[in-house]
Amino acid sequence: MIYLDAAATAPVREDVLQTIAPLLTRDFGNPSSSHGAGETAARALDYARRTAAGVLGCRPGEIVFTSGGTEADNLAVKGWALAAPRGRHLVSSAVEHPAVLESLDFLRRVHGFRVTLVPVDAEGRADPEAFRAAVTAETTLCTLMYANNEVGTVQPVAEVGEHCRALGVPFHTDAVQAAGWLPLDVGALGVDAMSISGHKLGAPKGSGLLYVRGSLPLEPLLHGGGQERGRRSGTENVAGAVALAVALARGEAERSEAAERIGRYRDHLVRRVLAEVPEAVLTGHPEQRLPGHASFCFPGTSGESVLLELERAGVQCSSGSACAAGRDEPSPVLTAMGYGPDVAGTAVRFSFPRSVTEAEAALAASVVGPAVARVRGLAPRA
């Protein structure tokens, strides 16, 4: 079976497993304890913080370890807004991850914030000038994802960050999909906060982090023992933090090579699918997209039926966000891009893990056309 659903979760890296094995067995102490086992755990946690900070170009004290990208997004959006509500106005895009959109809606419903969602074009990209026009001196915070999880479009984060800096408005980016594929230097991007999830990078599920610029106030979502400098209480997941940091550092070291190699595999799949399925529509920006991401709509089919045929042919992929699996309504991302419900319901997403081989990628590309044809009843099942 060929796994092409890395946007949902990536396989855990072998070098990460080897690194954290002692932290799960021998060095299992609580980093808040003052005895030897606790001090060993605290040193490991400090190593993770310094390693992650080195990749992001920030201070170690600006890293908050979380349980994943969803918690990091919630902490950034709710934590900032509740700590410094200012004009109670929030600005984001129409294609954000539900972790951001639902946090914004919570603040609207429960705390009376106004929310402006900037539209995107047919390729899923937000106009930086539209963000500049939406962000005012009354804006509490602005948040724009770095790269979309469903269609792979990369957003103009640095340009929006420049506008936010000029107005003195805090700016957050959800970099969950971008980590390991795109540059993450927070200074160059002009962001005040950044969310990252470990299991997209090759760390186990349940690990994440939020970079938050040190001078910004942050109301914690979790209250208790005051861990993470009072910003996220609860005994730290030391093994998860180390796994995330190691995967992040290794991913950054391999980023250029991996992007070039996996980008070739993706481009071959795109060319073949568009040649063999004339009705296929490549969704997302044709160039400003993640190197390992190819997403299509196949009008006249059912996306779920195409997925079943692909799995029978030995390829596992998805119809879009794993967070929306099992829902009947069409993708809000695709509808925001202008696709009607009938077409949006035919979406199929291929997202390549770094571990995929050229032979596997070529085989996957060869089965898409026949799978779509079988769904349409145009070819017999082999």
Among 25-34, 77-86, 367-376, name the one with the lowest average pLDDT. 25-34
- Are 199 and 93 members of one domain? yes
List, for residues 90-102, the tens digit of each pLDDT value: 999 999 999 999 9
The answer to whether position 189 is within a domain reads: yes
The rounded distance, in Å, linking the Cα atoms of 221 and 227 is 12
CB distance 197 to 72 below 8 Å? yes
The answer to whether position 299 is within a domain reads: yes
**Of 250, 266, 293, which residue sits at a domain end?**
250
What the block records as the tokens of 272 is 């073949």
The answer to whether position 278 is within a domain reads: yes
The answer to whether position 381 is within a domain reads: no
- Are 90 and 19 members of one domain? yes
The answer to whether position 362 is within a domain reads: yes
List, for residues 151-205, the tens digit of each pLDDT value: 999 999 999 999 999 999 999 999 999 999 999 999 999 999 999 999 999 999 9
List, for residues 199-249, the tens digit of each pLDDT value: 999 999 999 999 999 988 999 999 999 999 999 999 899 999 999 999 999
The rounded distance, in Å, linking the Cα atoms of 320 and 345 is 10
pTM assigned to the model: 0.94
Whether pLDDT at 380 is above 50: no
- Are 231 and 270 members of one domain? no
Q: What CA dihedral angle connects 376, 325, 353 and 295, to 10 degrees? A: 50
- Are 218 and 268 members of one domain? no
Domain CATH for 281: 3.90.1150.10
- Are 235 and 295 members of one domain? no
Whether pLDDT at 378 is above 70: no
- Are 188 and 227 members of one domain? yes
- Are 174 and 265 members of one domain? no
* Residues taking part in catalysis: 323
- Are 238 and 361 members of one domain? no
CB distance 123 to 281 below 8 Å? no
pLDDT band at 382 (very low <50, low <70, confident <90, very high): very low
Owning domain of residue 315? 2-7+255-375
Q: What CA dihedral angle connects 69, 73, 76 and 78, to 10 degrees? A: -140
Rg (CA), the chain: 21
The answer to whether position 157 is within a domain reads: yes
Instruction: Report the domain count for the chain.
Output: 2
- Are 305 and 358 members of one domain? yes
pLDDT band at 32 (very low <50, low <70, confident <90, very high): confident
- Averaged pLDDT, 60-86: 97
DSSP-derived secondary structure letter, 222: S
- Are 174 and 276 members of one domain? no
The rounded distance, in Å, linking the Cα atoms of 101 and 104 is 5
The rounded distance, in Å, linking the Cα atoms of 138 and 199 is 36
- Averaged pLDDT, 20-48: 91
**Of 250, 277, 312, which residue sits at a domain end?**
250
**Of 195, 221, 250, which residue sits at a domain end?**
250
